[in-house]
Amino acid sequence: MAFEHKSVLLEETIDNLKIKPDGIYVDGTLGGGGHSYEIAKYLTSGRLIGIDQDEAAIAAAGERLAEYKDKVTIVRSNYSEIKQVLSTLGIDKVDGILLDLGVSSYQLDTLERGFSYKEDAPLDMRMDTRNALTARDIINGYTEMELFRIIRDYGEDNFAKNIAKHIVRMREVKPLETTFELIEAIKAAIPMKLRVNTGHPAKRTFQAIRIELNRELEVLKNTLQEMIELLSPDGRLCIITFHSLEDRIVKSSFRTNENPCTCPPNFPICVCGKLPKGKVISRKPILPSEEELEYNKRSKSAKLRVFEKAKDK
- Which pLDDT value is given to residue 230? 98
- What is the pairing mode between strands 47-52 and 72-76? parallel
Residue 75, pLDDT score = 97
Count of Cβ atoms closer than 10 Å to residue 159 Cβ: 21
Q: What's the CA gap between 250 and 252, in Å, rounded?
A: 5
- Among 4-8, 147-151, 180-184, 225-229, which is the least confidently predicted range? 4-8
Phi and psi (nearest 5°) for 2? -70, 145
Which of the pair, 225 or 1, is modelled with greater confidence? 225
Mean pLDDT to the nearest integer, 245-258 = 96
- List of domains in the chain: 10-106+216-309 (3.40.50.150), 129-213 (1.10.150.170)
Q: What is the pLDDT of residues 13-45, one digit of tens each?
A: 999 999 999 999 999 999 889 999 999 999 999
Pick the more confident residue, 103 or 91. 91
Q: Are 25 and 17 in contact (CB under 8 A)?
A: yes
DSSP string, 164-176: HHHHHHHHHHS--
Residue 5 has pLDDT above 60, yes or no: no
Q: Comparing C-alpha atoms, which of 246, 250, 268 is closest to residue 305?
A: 250
Mean pLDDT, residues 159-185: 97
Dump pLDDT digits (tens) for 261-287: 999 989 998 899 899 999 999 999 999
pTM confidence score = 0.91
Non-local CB neighbours of 251 within 8 Å, separated by 6+ positions: 285, 305
Q: Is the pLDDT of residue 170 over 80?
A: yes
The confidence score (pLDDT) of residue 304 equals 98
Poorest-pLDDT segment among 35-44, 112-121, 210-219, 244-253? 112-121
- pLDDT grade for 112, boundaries at 50, 70 and 90: confident
Average pLDDT over residues 231-236: 98
